[in-house]
Amino acid sequence: MNIAFAGNPNVGKTALINAIAGSKLKVGNWPGVTVEKKEAEFKYKGEKIQLVDLPGTYSLSPYTVEERITRDFIINEDPDCVINVIDSTNLERNLYLTLLLMEMEKPIVIALNIFDEFEKSGYKIDLDKFKKYLGIDVIPTVATKNKGLNELMDKAIEVAKSKKHYKEMKYSLLFDRFIENEINKLIEKLKKEKLPNKYPLRWLAIKLIEKDEYIIQILKKETEKDISSLAKEHIMVIEERFNDDTETILTEARYGIINGILKDTLKKPKNYNIPFTEKVDKIVTNKYLGLPIFLALMYIVFKLTFDGSGPFIDWVDGFINGYIGKYVSLALTGAPNWLNSLVINGIIGGVGLVLTFVPLMLFIYFFLALLEESGYMSRAAFVLDKIMHSIGLNGKSFIPMILGFGCNVPAIYATRALENEKDRKLTAVLVPFMSCGARLPIYALFTGVFFVKYQAYVVLLMYILGIAVAIVVGLLLKNTKPFETAKSPLLLELPPYRVPSAKMLFGSMWIRTKAFLRKAGSIILMAMIILWAAINLPYGSTPNNSYLAKAAKVVAPVFTPAGFNKWQAVASVLPGIIAKESVVGALGQTLGVEKKSEKKKTSFIQDTRKQIMGLIKATIDSFRNMFISFTPGIFKIESISNSTFSQKIRTVFTPLSAFSYMVFMLLFIPCIVTLAAIKQEFGWGLMFFEIGLLTIIPYIVSVIVYQGGRLLGFH
C-alpha cells in the first residue's frame, strides 16, 4: 500500500513521518533533481506500507521543482492515499494546498497537526462540520508527542482500501456557479478526446482554464495533440466576466471557499500571537544585531562541529588503519606483497577514509537539523539576503561557505538547506575554494621552510585568496545559463520558533549519514583503488619509477609557467586528491625522505583494550573541546622539525615557486570525498565540471602568481 505525505513546509510533516516510520526511513534524491526524497517501507498491523514524503509545498503550480514533483507523483504513481499534513494554527493558508490536492481526486486524509498549540492558544473548531464541508476525514495529531498517529494510519489504510470508489467520490466543494458551468462544458469536450485516464477530467479542465503550460506540454508529448485550444473560449468568458486573469480568479475563488468553511467552523482567539517568537525575532532580525548574532551562531556551530568530531575522527583513523589494518595484514601473511598492499593501502585505506568522515557527518547533520527545525535557518536567510544578493547568491549560501573552511565535504551536504536548485549548484561549485583544514599541513610545510617570519600572514593570505577566487568565479558563473540565479527573489516563511524533539534531530542526523555511507562510500572506494594502482604500480617500483612518477616526468614541463616543473612536485599533486594532507607525505616519499616507522609488538588483547580506552578518551576529549576549551584546534600549525626534509624541499622549490605551489594546492580538487559528495548530490555532470574547473583555475591563478611575482622581482 502506497501512502504519500503532502503538506506545506514547517507544518511538522517531517516530525510526523519520523514518528511513524522511525528508523525505516531512507533518504535520497528525487530522480534528476537535487530535492531530498524520504521514503520508508514497513509493516503496520500486518499491512505492508510504502511511505513517501513529498516535498513541502504551498501550492501545486508548475513553477517550482518541488511542486512539479508533488504533482507528477500524485498523477503518475497513483498513491493509494495522500495524507495531507496541515498546521492547525494556520488553517487558511494550509487549506489552499488541500483544495488543490482534492482537485486531483485522490483519497485524502488530513492530519490536523500541531493540535496542542492550536488548543492551547484558544482556537476552537467544529470538527464534524469541518469534515462534512471537506468530505474528507480529519485526524488531529501532535507529531512531537506521538498523539493521533495510530488513528491517522488506521484511517489512511481504511480510506486507501476503499480506493476503487474514489472516482465516484464527490467532493462537495465547488467554485461559483458561473465558473463551474464553464468547467463542466470543458469537461464534456475533453470526454470526446482520447486522453490517458490517469488524469481526472475535472482537474484537467481546471488546469487548462488556468493556462497551466506544464500540463499542456506533457499532454502534447503523451498524446501528440494540443488540447489547450479547447479551453480558449471558456478562458475568455470567465476573464471577461470577472475582469481579471483566470489564474487569479481561481486562486481567489479557492480562498473564498476556504474562508467560507472557516467562518462557519473555526473560532479564532481574540489575540493570537506567539510572544516568544515575537521577542526573539525582534533581536534576531534586527537591522544592526542580526548579522553579529548570525556570525556568533555560525562560530559556535563551526567550533562544536569540528572540535567535537576531531577526537572521534582521530580514533576512527587509528582504529581502521592501525588496528583493523594490522590484523588484516597479519591474516594475509603469506599472500603476495602486492595483494597485501592493495588490501591495506587501497581497500582498508579507502574504507577508513570514508569512515573517518562519519563523526563529522553526524555532527554537522545534527546542527543543520537543529538550525532548520528550530526555525532559525529562515531568519539567517533574511538577515543575509542583502549581502549575498550582491554576489549573486542566496542568503543561506553563507552557511555552506563557512563550513567549507573546516571541511568541504559537510559543506557540500549543507547546501541542502537551500531551496533553489541553481543556488545549490553554484554554492557547491564554489565551496572547494574555501581553504579547508586539510590544506593547512601543506601551508605549514612550505611556510615553515620559506616564510618562517611571515607564516601566519602567508596562511591568512591563502584563505583570503580562496574567497577572492570564489567571488570572481561566482560572478562569472552567475551569468551563465546553468547557474543563473538572479530570478529567484527572496520569498519565504519565517515559522514560529519550536524546540525540535531529540528523536527528530537524531533521526535526521542518522538517516542522512547512512545515505552518505551508502552513496559516497562506493565511489570513494573505487577511486582509492585506481589511485593506489597509479602510485604503486608496477609493483615493487620505487617512488622514482612508478607509473605516477613516469607520468609526472612527462607532464612536468606544463607547469613551467607556474614555477614548479620538477617531477617530484607534480607527482605529489595526485595523492593530494585522496586527501590534501597526503601531499606532504607524498613529497617526503618522492624526495626520498625516510619515514621512521615504529613497530612494537603488542598482543591482540592489549590492542583491543587500547582501542576501547581510545574511544572513551575521544568521547571525553570531544566534550572538553566543545565546551571547555575555546581555541579551535584546527588552526594549529605543525612545525617542521625534519631538517633534511626542509633541505630537500629547497632543492626543488624557490620561495616564489613554493608560494605558487601553495596557491595551486589551495585551489586544486580538494579531495575525492568532496567529489563523491558532489556526485551524490548533483550527479556526474556537475562533478566533471568541478574537476575541470578545479584544474584550470588553479593553473591559471598559479601562473599569474608566479609570473606576476617574477615581474615584481621575487624569485
Partner 1 sequence: MPLSMANKDKFLKITNIVGGRNVKQRLSALGLYPGSVIKMVTNDFGGPLIVEVNNSKIAIGRGMAQKILVNEI
Q: Which phi-psi region, left, alpha or beta, contains residue 45 (left: φ > 0; alpha: ψ -120 to 50)?
A: left
Distance of closest approach, residue 504 Cβ to partner 1, in angstroms: 21
Give the residue with the Cβ less far from partner 1, 212 or 621: 212
Distance of closest approach, residue 118 Cβ to partner 1, in angstroms: 11
In this structure, the number of other CB atoms found within 10 A of the CB of residue 539 comes to 13
Three-state secondary-structure class, residue 53: strand
Sole window of 131-139, 146-154, 228-236, 378-386 interacting with partner 1 (rule: CB under 8 A)? 378-386
Q: Which of 239, 317, 385, 607 binds partner 1 (CB under 8 A)?
A: 385
Cell of 602: 603488542
Give the residue with the Cβ less far from partner 1, 290 or 563: 290
Sole window of 76-84, 383-391, 424-432, 513-521 interacting with partner 1 (rule: CB under 8 A)? 383-391
Examine residue 96 and tell whether it contacts partner 1 (CB under 8 A). yes
Sole window of 90-98, 149-157, 292-300, 544-552 interacting with partner 1 (rule: CB under 8 A)? 90-98
Q: Are 120 and 149 in contact (CB under 8 A)?
A: no
What is the distance between the alpha carbons of residues 464 and 640, in angstroms, rounded to a whole number?
24
Distance of closest approach, residue 214 Cβ to partner 1, in angstroms: 12
Give the residue with the Cβ less far from partner 1, 246 or 345: 246
Exposed e or buried b for every residue in 433-456, given b needs 16+ CB within 10 A? bbbbbbbbbbbbbbbbbbbeeebe
Task: Find the binding residues for partner 1 in span 403-432 (CB under 8 A).
Answer: none
Examine residue 154 and tell whether it contacts partner 1 (CB under 8 A). no
Distance of closest approach, residue 399 Cβ to partner 1, in angstroms: 16
Cell of 299: 562560530
Q: Which of 84, 89, 408, 590 binds partner 1 (CB under 8 A)?
A: 89
Sole window of 151-159, 382-390, 529-537, 541-549 interacting with partner 1 (rule: CB under 8 A)? 382-390
Task: Give the up-direction half-sphere exposure of residue 294: CA atoms within 13 A in the CB hemisphere.
Answer: 25
What is the distance between the alpha carbons of residues 58 and 80, in angstroms, rounded to a whole number?
22
Distance of closest approach, residue 99 Cβ to partner 1, in angstroms: 11
Q: Is the dihedral of CA 506, 508, 511, 515 positive or negative?
A: negative
Three-state secondary-structure class, residue 31: coil
Examine residue 90 and tell whether it contacts partner 1 (CB under 8 A). yes
Give the residue with the Cβ less far from partner 1, 290 or 350: 290
Distance of closest approach, residue 645 Cβ to partner 1, in angstroms: 52
What is the distance between the alpha carbons of residues 620 and 99, in angstroms, rounded to a whole number?
54
Examine residue 97 and tell whether it contacts partner 1 (CB under 8 A). yes
Examine residue 334 and tell whether it contacts partner 1 (CB under 8 A). no
Distance of closest approach, residue 105 Cβ to partner 1, in angstroms: 20
What is the distance between the alpha carbons of residues 655 and 712, in angstroms, rounded to a whole number?
14
Examine residue 374 and tell whether it contacts partner 1 (CB under 8 A). no
Examine residue 255 and tell whether it contacts partner 1 (CB under 8 A). yes
Binding mask 486-505 for partner 1 (x = CB under 8 A): ---xxxxxxx----------
What is the distance between the alpha carbons of residues 381 and 385, in angstroms, rounded to a whole number?
6
Q: For residue 683, what are the CA distances in angstroms to 67, 118, 170, 484, 713?
A: 21, 43, 43, 19, 45
Give the residue with the Cβ less far from partner 1, 419 or 681: 419
Distance of closest approach, residue 258 Cβ to partner 1, in angstroms: 10
Q: Which of 2, 251, 341, 420 binds partner 1 (CB under 8 A)?
A: 251
234: nearest Cα among 207, 214, 216, 259: 207
Sole window of 242-250, 327-335, 572-580, 587-595 interacting with partner 1 (rule: CB under 8 A)? 242-250
* Close Cβ partners of 198 (under 8 Å, ≥ 6 residues apart): 75, 76, 78
The position carrying cell 463551474 is 180
Task: Find the binding residues for partner 1 in span 285-304 (CB under 8 A).
Answer: 285, 287
Distance of closest approach, residue 259 Cβ to partner 1, in angstroms: 10
Examine residue 382 and tell whether it contacts partner 1 (CB under 8 A). yes
Q: How many residues does the chain have?
A: 715
Cell of 151: 488513528
Examine residue 642 and tell whether it contacts partner 1 (CB under 8 A). no
Number of residues that bind partner 1 (CB under 8 A): 37
Distance of closest approach, residue 13 Cβ to partner 1, in angstroms: 16
Give the residue with the Cβ less far from partner 1, 378 or 660: 378
Binding mask 560-589 for partner 1 (x = CB under 8 A): ------------------------------
The position carrying cell 498549540 is 117
Distance of closest approach, residue 51 Cβ to partner 1, in angstroms: 25
Task: Find the binding residues for partner 1 in span 256-275 (CB under 8 A).
Answer: 272-273
Distance of closest approach, residue 101 Cβ to partner 1, in angstroms: 13
Give the residue with the Cβ less far from partner 1, 64 or 141: 64
* Close Cβ partners of 229 (under 8 Å, ≥ 6 residues apart): none
Examine residue 63 and tell whether it contacts partner 1 (CB under 8 A). yes
Q: Are 382 and 389 in contact (CB under 8 A)?
A: no
Exposed e or buried b for every residue in 641-674, given b needs 16+ CB within 10 A? ebeebeebbeebbbebbbbbbbbbbbbbbbbbbb
* DSSP letter for each residue of 259-312: HHHHHHHEE--SS---HHHHHHHHHHT-TTTHHHHHHHHHHHHHHHHHHHHHHH
Q: Which of 14, 144, 321, 378 binds partner 1 (CB under 8 A)?
A: 378
Task: Find the binding residues for partner 1 in span 173-212 (CB under 8 A).
Answer: 211
Sole window of 92-100, 297-305, 451-459, 474-482 interacting with partner 1 (rule: CB under 8 A)? 92-100
Q: Are 57 and 81 in contact (CB under 8 A)?
A: no
Binding mask 208-237 for partner 1 (x = CB under 8 A): ---x--------------------------
Sole window of 45-53, 281-289, 600-608, 699-707 interacting with partner 1 (rule: CB under 8 A)? 281-289
Examine residue 544 and tell whether it contacts partner 1 (CB under 8 A). no
Examine residue 58 and tell whether it contacts partner 1 (CB under 8 A). yes
What is the distance between the alpha carbons of residues 126 and 138, in angstroms, rounded to a whole number?
11
Examine residue 276 and tell whether it contacts partner 1 (CB under 8 A). no
What is the distance between the alpha carbons of residues 696 and 680, in angstroms, rounded to a whole number?
23
Give 555-616 as a 3 state SS string. Answer: HHHHHHHHCCCCHHHHHCCCHHHHCCCHHHHHHHHHCCCCCCCCCCCCCHHHHHHHHHHHHH
Paired with 28 in beta bridges are 37
Distance of closest approach, residue 247 Cβ to partner 1, in angstroms: 6
Give the residue with the Cβ less far from partner 1, 181 or 277: 277
Q: Which phi-psi region, left, alpha or beta, contains residue 2 (left: φ > 0; alpha: ψ -120 to 50)?
A: beta
Report whether the peptide linkage leading into residue 538 is cis, meaning its omega lies within 30 degrees of zero.
Answer: yes
Distance of closest approach, residue 426 Cβ to partner 1, in angstroms: 18
In this structure, the number of other CB atoms found within 10 A of the CB of residue 303 comes to 20
Distance of closest approach, residue 261 Cβ to partner 1, in angstroms: 14
In the complex, which residues of this chain contact partner 1 (CB under 8 A)? 57-59, 61, 63-64, 89-90, 92-93, 96-97, 211, 245, 247-248, 251-252, 255, 272-273, 281, 285, 287, 378, 381-382, 385-386, 389, 489-495
